[in-house]
Amino acid sequence: EVQLLESGGTLVQPGDSLTLSCAVSGFTFSSYAMSWVRQAPGKGLEWVSGISGSSAFTYYADSVKGRFTISRDNSKNTLFLQMNSLRAEDTAVYYCAKDRGRLRFFDNWGQGTLVTVSS
């Protein structure tokens, strides 16, 4: 059974940094691209960032480019999202998702972790 479990979400102040993790199981992690998708309270889905299986390619939404860094550790079956210079508008539930082909579609999602940016 495919499982994705996000962690690391918490309350932080504007300008702070935070790293989210997504531990996966049930599939060969290194064979699949992965993405982070977020959802602000009461709002729609927003794709944030993606990474290829080998980490050779990374992709970012304009809204986070230069502030967020996606990475993965295939030896530990874990995906990361390092978030710097956090803003109030980054407040959201962050989901990790298994990608079936370089931003093609996401066939498995985690349950999400809440990041709140507030003073």
Partner 1 sequence: QSALTQPASVSGSPGQSVTISCTGTSSDVGAHNYVSWYQQHPGKAPQLMIYDVGNRPSGVSNRFSGSKSGNTASLTISGLQAEDEADYYCSSYTSNTLVFGEGTKLTVL
Q: Which residues bind partner 1 (CB under 8 A)?
A: 35, 37, 44-47, 50, 59-63, 95, 100, 102-107, 109-112
| Residue 32: CB minimum distance to partner 1, A | 14
| Residue 119: CB minimum distance to partner 1, A | 27
| Residue 41: CB minimum distance to partner 1, A | 12
> Which of 31, 62 has the CB closer to partner 1?
62
> Which of 14, 22 has the CB closer to partner 1?
22
Query: N- to C-terminal Cα distance for the chain?
Result: 40
How many C-beta atoms surround the C-beta of residue 105 within 10 A? 9
Q: Could you give the CA distance from residue 85 to residue 32 in angstroms, rounded to a whole number?
A: 29
- Sequence letter at residue 3: Q
| Cβ-contact 55, 72 below 8 angstroms | yes
> Which of 17, 27 has the CB closer to partner 1?
27
| Cβ-contact 86, 17 below 8 angstroms | yes
| Residue 16: CB minimum distance to partner 1, A | 25
